[in-house]
Amino acid sequence: MAVNVLIVDNSEVMRDVLREVVSDEFHVVAEAANGGEAIEITEQRDVDVIMMDIVMPEVDGIEATATIKEMYPDVKIIFCTSVTQQDRIKPAIEAGADGYIMKPFENSTVQQAINDVVP
């Protein structure tokens, strides 16, 4: 079964890095620069897993996660966060995140995080 992944990060460089890592094993359906775009894409595309940054302009990852999970509870959301954002992990989990990885990350960590949340 192909796993469709949406990459959400306000940093184009980080989106590029994640796309490279994720596309080795999974199908990247789209990328978004903020949570608002992530919500729109999730409404329009078949998304299984979202790799979500926490701190983004307009709509942050926590708010986007709460909205997406309310509309699409089966979509799995994995936060990609930096050490400086550790205090936001608990609110992210409370919003419905299914997991998280810390930046900087190993390629295998990203792939394993996705495998851990898909059946």
Q: What does the pLDDT look like over 50-107, one tens digit per residue?
A: 999 998 999 999 999 999 999 999 999 999 987 556 677 788 888 999 999 988 888 8
In total, the chain counts a number of residues equal to 119
Cα gap 79→50, rounded to integer Å: 8
What pLDDT, on a 0 to 100 scale, did the predictor assign at position 93? 85
The CA distances from residue 42 to 11, 21, 34, 47, in Å, are 19, 21, 12, 6
Q: The domain spanning residue 109 has which CATH number?
A: 3.40.50.2300
Q: Which domain holds residue 13?
A: 4-117
pTM listed for this prediction: 0.92
Dihedral angle, C-alpha 119, 54, 41, 113, nearest 10 °: -20
The predicted structure's pLDDT at residue 14: 94
Mean of per-residue pLDDT scores for the chain = 92
Question: What's the total number of domains in the chain?
Answer: 1
Residue type, 83: V
